[in-house]
């Protein structure tokens, strides 16, 4: 499965504000990861499911869902139908 098409924009003196625009034209998933910062996800087309700390959410998120993933939570984001488009926001992406 090809990886999704991701465009990233960093703003701020330390690039602390990041926005990702993700186009998943095929079914696919993000890697299992966690961050030291909060993540906000907005679904704009298609649908996604999320696994948090090894447990799959019961929800399927559709447009215009807003999902928060707190700092430190290990997660996997999976496209449930093609095409899926999401916007990922890291409002305080500070990595020391």
From the list 26, 14, 66, the residue with the least C-alpha distance to 50 is 66
Both structure tokens of 11:
């703003």
From the list 21, 38, 37, 26, the residue with the least C-alpha distance to 87 is 21
CATH class of 5-90: mainly beta
Q: What pLDDT sits at residue 93?
A: 87
User: What is the distance between the alpha carbons of residues 90 and 76, in angstroms, rounded to a whole number?
Assistant: 16
From the list 31, 35, 22, the residue with the least C-alpha distance to 93 is 35
User: What is the distance between the alpha carbons of residues 35 and 75, in angstroms, rounded to a whole number?
Assistant: 9
Is the pLDDT confidence value at 1 over 90?
no
Is the pLDDT confidence value at 62 over 60?
yes
Q: If you average pLDDT over every residue of the chain, what do you get?
A: 91
Q: Across residues 37-48, what is the average pLDDT?
A: 96
For 8-18, how does the pLDDT look when each residue is reduced to its tens digit (9 = 90+)? 999 998 889 99
Is the pLDDT confidence value at 96 over 70?
no
Q: What percent of the chain has pLDDT over 90?
A: 72
Domain ranges of the chain: 5-90
């Amino acid at each position: 499965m090809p990886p999704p098409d991701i465009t990233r924009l960093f703003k701020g003196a330390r690039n602390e504000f990041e926005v990702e625009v993700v186009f998943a034209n095929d079914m696919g998933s993000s890697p299992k990861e966690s961050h030291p910062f909060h993540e906000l996800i907005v679904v704009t087309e298609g649908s996604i499911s999320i696994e948090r700390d090894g447990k799959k959410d019961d929800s399927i998120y559709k447009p215009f869902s807003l999902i928060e993933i707190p700092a430190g939570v290990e997660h996997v984001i999976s496209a449930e139908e093609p095409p899926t488009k999401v916007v990922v926001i890291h409002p305080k992406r500070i990595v020391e």
